[in-house]
Amino acid sequence: MSAASKAIKPLEVVLYQDVLCAWCYLADVRLEALRKELGGLVRWRVRPFPLRIADAPPTQQERQEWLDELTRASLEPETEARGLSSALWLSSDAPRSSLPAMTALEAAQLQGAQARQLLARRMQRLALEQGLNVTRPDVVYELAASVGLEMNHFEAAWRSPQTRRLVLEEHRMVSSRGVREAPTLVIAGRWMVSGLREVAEYREHLLACLGKVELGRGRSGSPERQVH
């Protein structure tokens, strides 16, 4: 069989995200176009990277940092970004930790990647557009039911200490390999693109890894780092 006739192995791309993060919200919007454009050339996985692990009320400084990010994100050109709200971090019910939402997505993953995707996008929209604390148990259950999850299986998985341990262990592991923020793309297990990028830049990196184009040479401050 000739090389030309062999099936192309999909490029493995992992997106690390936190549903409370405005930059992750925007990355999802931008990468959705590339998912459609690249089709079967890329196999996508979305993994949790909680930005708030400790279970504690956010300090005033932490609230202000999240608010500043929302303000900057709302200036991005995507139409959806114009609906971002600061209410989540201004309320008395601000999230104490990202972990409940992240473990809920892991529990949803057991019912399929689409189930996870639906729940994640619903959480993002309600948290960042409407200011709802999607880490509260009552909200998590309501959202899980609204996207059609089988609730007995979901509850058992979400409440399991093992699910929480898996999220924390993965966070520890990928942090040791260089993932420091969300969103971060890890491409083919070798290269990272950290932080929000323009669609054209995401495309360039992905096509470069697919062997379609070469990254421009001599670019200063290149964001890519090899994963050891």
Which CATH number fits the domain that encloses residue 145? 3.40.30.10
When divided into structural domains, the chain yields a total of: 1
The answer to whether the CB of 56 falls within 8 A of the CB of 99 is no
Crossing angle for the helix pair 99-109 and 137-146, to the nearest 10 degrees:
30
125 lies in a domain?
yes
Name the token pair of 115.
Answer: 């189930």
As a whole number of angstroms, the distance between CA 148 and CA 50 comes to 24
CA angle at 24 for the pair 22 and 59, rounded to the nearest 5°: 45
Residue linked to tokens 């039911």: 145
Residue 79: the pLDDT is 66
Write out residues in the chain with pLDDT < 50, as ranges: 1-5, 214-224, 226-228
Q: Output the average pLDDT for the chain.
A: 89
82 lies in a domain?
yes
165: containing domain: 7-185+193-226
Residue 192: the pLDDT is 95
